[in-house]
Amino acid sequence: DTGVSQNPRHKITKRGQNVTFRCDPISEHNRLYWYRQTLGQGPEFLTYFQNEAQLEKSRLLSDRFSAERPKGSFSTLEIQRTEQGDSAMYLCASRDGGRNSPLHFGNGTRLTVT
Amino acid sequence: AQKVTQAQTEISVVEKEDVTLDCVYETRDTTYYLFWYKQPPSGELVFLIRRNSFDEQNEISGRYSWNFQKSTSSFNFTITASQVVDSAVYFCALSEAGNQGGKLIFGQGTELSVKP
């Protein structure tokens, strides 16, 4: 169990640029989640995959955001035309299908939009 | 609507003191799950405990204990004999039964500072 891995750890970009983050879940976990955390707040749910199917998207996920999990393993989160308000920590988490299994989080990708 | 409130933004204690972190939740569901996570400075959220709404037994794990009271919609977390390594931000979270703990509603977090 190598844990949930996220890349990059930090990303600084200029307003208007596109960015893409990657998440590698724990290998046997079929459920993958993206959360966003701003300074001083708790994480907020963005979207959820079961295998390759995106089953739920939060209203927080505007049209500029898109997430994929093409082969049911790793996932990418892309933000197009970034805005300063997108600056946050983007957290990925995974869990297996067991009823009592908790979420395992990665270290996150910290995005700064200048 | 579901909501989790952690009224204590920051708590500072001296090592070996006991400390209780408060969590109050709101939900209309009769079946739900409650969680506590720890977020050390490294940023990774670490799972501490999960409780379902049917199980009101208090739980103790080493220096950690949890007090779940449905009557007051509270799920408080106590650290006994705190240590410097306990310094972190602690989050309480709520999940509907259908999500089984995947889609979580987090509180704002309580930043605990344990000084030597």
| pLDDT category of residue A97 using cuts at 50, 70 and 90 | confident
Report yes or no: B48 at the A interface, CB cutoff 8 Å. no
pLDDT number for residue A68: 96
Model pLDDT for residues B5-18, shown as the tens digit of each residue: 999 999 999 999 99
B45 reaches A (C-beta below 8 A): yes
pLDDT tens sequence across A5-24: 999 999 999 999 999 999 99
Confidence grade of residue B99 (pLDDT, cut at 50, 70, 90)? low
Query: Does A42 contact chain B (CB < 8 Å)?
Result: yes
Sign of CA dihedral A43, A59, A93, A6: negative
Are the beta carbons of A91 and A77 closer than 8 angstroms? no
Cβ of B102 within 8 Å of Cβ of A106? The answer is no
- CA B23 – CA B67 distance, rounded (Å): 10
Q: Among candidates A18, A5, A2, which has minimal Cα distance to A92?
A: A5
Q: Quote the tokens at residue B64.
A: 């950690």
